[in-house]
Structures are given as structure tokens and as C-alpha cells.
Structure 1
Amino acid sequence: AMPERYQAMVDLGAGCGLRQGEILGIAVDAVDFDSDTLHVVQQLKLSQSKPVFAPPKGGKLRDVPLPGPVADALRAHMKRFPPVEITLPWKTADGPKVTRSLIFAAPGGNHVWRPNLNEESWKPALVAAGVIPAPESKRDGYAAAREHGMHALRHFYASALLDGGENIKAVSEYLGHSNAALTLRIYAHLMPSSQERTRTAIATVYDRAQEPG
């Protein structure tokens, strides 16, 4: 239900675990289709209420596996909406100017403003999908709830990896957390129960021991 020019953002959040600022700041050279890797090296954020490019949260650069469906979505997006060169300060409002070829841009050719994206595209898409109710009036606006932000896509990514059996250290690295303990505190409740894995592991050992020869 997102506008077409923003639909691939959902793939980057749900399929690669990127934060919203990292999605808005993703540049063409960060996507390596040959090695199926996404280089998360910058974000688009505000400094003194002005947009800037900056390293990811905590300065933690990382490489994230690029799944096939996400790569396909990005290729289709860039074919439909060619990347746009955007020049902004680096790290601080008075920092040196840098130019990046951004994958996502606003209709007018400028970078995407987070408040506009949230209120004009993301929240209406949640309403259309039946996730949140429509506001009773424009004056009321959408109900504020952290779980209804684009960060929810990142939680989906983490839960899908853990449910698929990926180890917590790898999940932590892909999310860009400072350490695996932080990831464990946030997502421990999403980890599948180890009891059935234990039963299966031991039963398998017994089965092999009873095999002839």
C-alpha cells in the first residue's frame, strides 16, 4: 500500500533489517549485486534540524546479506526510479559537503524527509493494510505508537532470522548492534524454544547408534 517509489523501502527493512535513516540514506554504491551484499555505511539524519549524511548509529559499519527477492526489488525500483545525486553536509550541519547517488528520492528530486514519509506514506499504508485505524479527522492525526513505526520491519527481520535458526551473534552483526548481549535482551522472547531441538538432537544420536553396521 506504499507509494510505488517507496515500496522497496519495505524490502530493505524487512529483508535486510535496515533502520529508517539507513534506508533513506542508502546509495547506489552500497549495493553489491555481484556478491549479494549490502554495505551499510551511512544514514540520513538531522543535525541541528538540518539533514546530513552520517555513519550508521554507533558508527557501526556493516555488511548485510542481500536476499534474492530484495535484490530484485531494488533492481526494479532503480529501473523505474533512477537514483538521484544529493549533496548534504557530513555528520554535522556545518560539516564538509558530500554527494551521494541515493536510491530513494522524493517526487521533486530531493532527499526524502522522514516526517513526510511517515505521515503521508507509511501511516496511510498501515491503515490500508488494516494494521492501524484511520484517524477520525485530520486534526486528530494518527495515533503515536513506537510499534507502528518503520522500525517494526527491523523487528520482523530479526524474528525471521531467529525463527529460521540463525545464531544470535550473526543477527547482532546484521542489525548493527554494539554486541550480541544487546540483541539477546531485545529479541530473546522471539527465539524459538530449544526444547524441541534438544529432543530432536538426542533422538537423532540414538537413531544413528541403533543403525546396523
Structure 2
Amino acid sequence: MARKLARGMGSFFKDCGCTKPTRCPHPYSIRFRDALGKQREESGYDTQDDAIERLIQLYAEKKTTTPTVAAARRELGQLTVEEYAKQWRPRQRKMTEYSTGEAVDSSINVHIVPRLGSRKLNSVTPMVVERFLDEMESDGVGRGNQVNIFRVLKTVLRDAYAKGAMADDPVKGVQEPAYVRGTVAIPSRVYVTKALAVAGEDLSLEIVVMAGCGLRNGEARAVNINNVVAQDVYRVHEQIHSNTLRPAKLKHRKTGEFREVPLPRSVREAIERYAAKHGTTNDGYLLRGPGGYFTEGMERRRVKKLFSDLPPEGGVGMYGFRHYFASNALGGGIPITDVAEWMGHKSIEETYRTYRHLLPGSITKAARILDAGLWEAA
């Protein structure tokens, strides 16, 4: 039996059929009329106080909300997550096709829509979001990706909440997935030499520029004879995008920006040998396939064969050759500030977090060096 509050505030009740409902563990439900006069119900309140507090909140909102606004909010809340995400995405004008925007689109289309796309906005609660995170974990989505996907979902839902699609914050209390950066797997010099011997000519050139110049995979695929701007300098200003398979701007950089990296003699000679043997495109690119460039699919097949032909070494993958560059540079005493710039990291903190264990210095060594420049104790 529903217990009524002041007129117009609605009522709270238990619908469990227990003989002593005030003492049973079942949750309370509430019944009320919204700003349009339509009767609605909500459930899941642990105590009478929780139910009454919610009714008071709804009553206050109804008093301050015009019927027109209430109708608009109700209509918005009936949209599905997929429908709202499609409306939300074009409004994000600061995103670009080849950087943040591409990652956001992937999060929405590959992860959010398949799991939550058909759910109406006004039915999304923190528990729904928690289950979404649990599903990603069960499906083996990496923790780093989980963090990025959750941040996209949180932004979309908070935008809908701000516009009145939900009565309560749908991500309130939901904790971001914990992500702990693992130690990078760095191949030995012997392993790099074996990889170059086993890989075909195209993949070998990619390995050379990654290990020798610190390029990312996509940047290595865009290797260009015209980027050799001096005997010992290579200019990096684009990558082959993994989705479009076309040249695109660099990660963490605006269109037209570039960075210059050291070009070891052996790397320059490898580029020149490849160009002399295979030629280049009219605009200087070396690695190319049927579509004109060294594509993601081509690389994936070649990489899979490469690591099946090589003996395993501590979880080393293709990105390990870029890590080798960092190891070689820091092990040789090159300042980490220079290494961060050459690798194109967003900040030196990223470089330090990833490679701090490679720094040749130590507290003990620092103490000896500092002591040499100090005076003798009396």
C-alpha cells in the first residue's frame, strides 16, 4: 500500500508482498507525476529517507520546469545512446580526422554502440555503466583502451545529463579503470640483427628507421627519400594513417608541424640502397603496396611471419624496435630531453615514465660525481 506525502509530491511503497515491508530487505519504489502530468515510477531506493529525498527533488524540479522544457527533456531522454552519440560527435569541432577524432569514433563505433547503443538515455544509470566496464574487461579489452573508451562514454553521457536527458548523473561514483603501465620489452642488439636478417626488404627498412631514428610504425611506413634533409638529419612530418592508409599529420602535432631526428650513417645508407634498388614514388615514398603505400594489412601479415620465424625474446613486438632506439640513446648518455623530442612524445613526463629504468645514472653514482666537486671535510 502506497504511503502518500503532501499533495502533488507522489508516494513511496514496497511491492514485494512481505508481511512486514518496513523491515524486509527489498528496495522501495516511488510513484509520481512528471512536469507533463504523466505518471511514472522509479525503484531501487534502500530506505524511506532515500525515497522521500528523491520525491522532494523531483517535486522541486517539476515546480521550476516549464511544460515546454519538460517535454523537450523527456523527448531527449527517449533517444538511444547511439542516436545521441551521432548528434554529439559533429559538435566536437576541436577534434581532427586523424588524431583525437579518429580515436573517439573508434571508441563509439567499436565499443560503445555495440554494448550500449540501443539503450535509452533516461535508462542509463551508474550500474549500467559499471556493467559496461565489466563487459569490456571480460572481452579482453586492454586497460589502456578501457580508460580511453570510458572517458568518451563519460563525456557523451555527461553532455546528455547537462541537457536534461537524465534526472541523475549517469556516471556518478563510477571509477575509471585502473591502468598500470607495464615495463616495455626492448630487444637486444643481437635480436635486432636477427630480425633484419629474417624480415623481407620492406619490413627490414621499417625496422631500421624505427630502431635507428625512433620512428613510430606509421611514421616508418611513410619513410621518404626527400625527408633526408642533411647527411645526419631526417625530418619526420607525417605518418601513414592506419585507417585511411594515406599520409596524415603526426601524433600530438598540428598539420604541417614536423620534428627532426638524428640520422645514423647506417640508416641513411639503408634508405639510399632501397631507393636505388626499388625506386620511389613521384613524391619520394619508398614503401608502397598495391594501393600506393605500405598498408596496415601488409605490415600485419609480414610482422606475424617475422615473429613466427624469430625465437621469442621477452614479449618483444614491432614497437620494441622503437624502444630499442630509446635504450640505445639513453644508454649512450644522450639527455632524456633530447630523446623525448626526437621520439615525438607529448611531454617529457611520458618519456620518463616509460624509460626511467634505462637512465644510466643512479643516486650512488650521482653522489660520487657531486662529491668530486666539493671541498674536503675539515
State the AA in 1 paired with 2:365.
R
Deviation at 1:26, TM superposition (A): 2.2
State the AA in 2 paired with 1:13.
M
8 Å CA contact 1:13–1:150 kept in 2: the answer is: no
Between the aligned partners of 1:6 and 1:182, the Cα distance in structure 2 is 27
Q: Which residue of 1 aligns with 2:118?
A: none
Between the aligned partners of 1:196 and 1:103, the Cα distance in structure 2 is 47
Q: Which residue of 1 aligns with 2:285?
A: 102
Q: List aligned pairs for 1:43-192, cutoff 5 A.
A: 43-46=239-242, 49-59=243-253, 61-85=258-282, 100-106=283-289, 108=290, 110-119=292-301, 121-131=302-312, 148-192=316-360
Deviation at 1:67, TM superposition (A): 0.6
TM-score normalised over the length of structure 1: 0.73
Deviation at 1:202, TM superposition (A): 4.8
Between the aligned partners of 2:364 and 2:297, the Cα distance in structure 1 is 44
Deviation at 1:77, TM superposition (A): 1.2
Deviation at 1:74, TM superposition (A): 1.0
The 3 A distance-change label for structure 1 pair 200 and 82 is farther
Greater strand content: 1
8 Å CA contact 1:104–1:112 kept in 2: the answer is: yes
State the AA in 1 paired with 2:300.
N
Between the aligned partners of 1:128 and 1:200, the Cα distance in structure 2 is 46
Unaligned runs of 5+ in 1: 86-99, 133-146
TM-score normalised over the length of structure 2: 0.43
State the AA in 1 paired with 2:248.
A
Between the aligned partners of 2:316 and 2:258, the Cα distance in structure 1 is 26
Q: Which of 1 and 2 has higher RCO (CA within 8 Å, sep 6+)?
A: 1
User: C-alpha root-mean-square deviation of aligned residues, in Å?
Assistant: 2.5
Unaligned runs of 5+ in 2: 1-197
2:238 maps to which of 39, 42, 56: 42
- Residues 148-189 of structure 1 show CA distances to partners (whole Å, capped at 9, x for unaligned) of 442111111111111111111101000001121111111112
Deviation at 1:196, TM superposition (A): 5.4
Between the aligned partners of 1:14 and 1:33, the Cα distance in structure 2 is 19
- Residues 10-62 of structure 1 show CA distances to partners (whole Å, capped at 9, x for unaligned) of 1100000000100111222111243x11100001104xx43221111011620
Deviation at 1:123, TM superposition (A): 2.1
Q: Which residue of 1 aligns with 2:31?
A: none
Between the aligned partners of 2:212 and 2:365, the Cα distance in structure 1 is 26
Q: Which residue of 1 aligns with 2:219?
A: 22
Q: Which residue of 1 aligns with 2:39?
A: none
1:3 maps to which of 200, 221, 239: 200
The 3 A distance-change label for structure 1 pair 201 and 42 is same
3-state SS, counterpart of residue 284 of structure 2: strand
